[in-house]
Amino acid sequence: MRTISVFQQVSVDGYFTTKDGDSSWTHGGADDDEYNKFVEGNAKGGGALLFGRKTYEMMASFWPTPEAAKQFPVVAKQMNAMPKIVFSKTLERATWANTTLVKDDPATTVRALKREAGPPITIMGSGTIISQLARADLVDEYQLVVIPLVLGAGRSMFAGNDRRANLTLSTSRSFANGKVYLVYTCAKAS
Amino acid sequence: MRTISVFQQVSVDGYFTTKDGDSSWTHGGADDDEYNKFVEGNAKGGGALLFGRKTYEMMASFWPTPEAAKQFPVVAKQMNAMPKIVFSKTLERATWANTTLVKDDPATTVRALKREAGPPITIMGSGTIISQLARADLVDEYQLVVIPLVLGAGRSMFAGNDRRANLTLSTSRSFANGKVYLVYTCAKAS
């Protein structure tokens, strides 16, 4: 069975983007060896990536560029090589290498994917998709990087979930740059 | 100069109460020795406490009771003994031991308190007061305990802050019960 992990950088007040969808505040630290090694290690996981349209378009406009190859050589290579799924009813083509465009309902599609054998699937950004999958009890794990910044307002990937969910902390690690990595696993749906 | 610390238990999605002001989800774990020792150590800090009316009334209805003395003997004794300040324009009397009722503006009052010598001041709960003090650059430190729970909606103590604030991580500690303690210091106001 394939597992579904969410990897998300969040502010101290819990937002993954500003209200306007800006996530540029999660960048920086490209000169931080300790954190870079962590990100590169994550990217070597060998899994597949899953996105909503907005996050996909943002990622697809960056990772295949010479700028990305220069700034993040290891991660760019991995991001371009990994199998990718994008959910969109409006996109006509998905041209970033190794992408499958899916027009069906995310929850139905992911429920079917989870029954198959295969590498783990990681969702990045894509708050709308995450909310839908979380409501359907399809998320196995949240990998959060808490950025030492308060936004004051923004988008929460848990917005619209109308019930509480107990999580289990499985990993915590802090970095010299002030970021904190927290991994929570979700209770199995009965 | 006195320092102002915020001590707050927050959900993984960053809320300190539900929309209805319920914080009962932060309780429990009274039988957890490791976490109890941490809370008792915190309560021994010898500082003063500062509250808004709602949090004050909730705390004042619990800590002086025999139930509190039985369930949390060390912390209850400390909570009752510590000097306390409550901000309220509507309260007529504050009867919990060692409480000073202040009807003036919180930011003005705290700005004056910070110029005095004296023990550190800790704010618990009291989201409205925290927002006012944060906007006025009067908070020196946030001590957060992240509870392994997603609420989906709730009150953020940073709501209404219309600008970003960079924080510095000074402490992180995880507990076997899944709670994570993160301390952030604020950049000094110029």
> To the nearest whole angstrom, how far is the Cα of B93 from the nearest Cα of chain A?
34
**Which residues in A lie closer than 8 A to residue B160 (C-beta atoms)?**
152
Q: What is the pLDDT of residue B190?
A: 44
Q: Which of B112-116, B119-123, B185-189 has the lowest mean pLDDT?
A: B185-189
| Cα angle value B83/B89/B92 (rounded, 5°) | 70
Cβ distance A167 to B149 less than 8 Å, yes or no, reads yes
DSSP string, B99-133: EEEE-S-HHHHHHHHHHS----EEEES-HHHHHHH
* B117-136: average pLDDT: 92
Facing residue for A149 by CB, picked from B148, B156, B164: B164
Is the CB of B12 less than 8 angstroms away from the CB of A159? no
Name the band, by pLDDT with cuts 50, 70 and 90, for residue B58: very high
Structural domains for chain A: 4-26+47-165 (3.40.430.10)
Contact residues, chain A, for B178 at CB < 8 Å: 167-169
Tokens 């004050």: give the residue: B56
Name the band, by pLDDT with cuts 50, 70 and 90, for residue B28. low
- Which residue in this structure is represented by tokens 């990536």? A49
Run of H or E including A42 = helix A33-43
- H or E stretch including B139? none
Best residue in B147, B150, B177, B186 to probe A by mutation, most A CBs within 10 Å? B150
The span from the CA of A69 to the CA of A58, in Å, is 16
> Alpha-carbon distance A178 to A180, whole Å?
6
Distance CA A19, CA A173 (A): 28
Cβ-in-10-Å burial (0-12, 13-18, 19+) of A85 comes to buried
Q: What are the pLDDT digits (tens) for A53-75?
A: 999 999 999 999 999 999 889 88
What is the spatial distance between Cα A106 and Cα A130, in angstroms, rounded to a whole number? Answer: 9
**Tens-digit pLDDT profile for residues B137-156:** 999 999 999 999 999 999 99
Residues 6+ apart with CB under 8 A from A103: A87, A88, A89
* Residue B73 to residue A186: CA distance in whole angstroms: 34
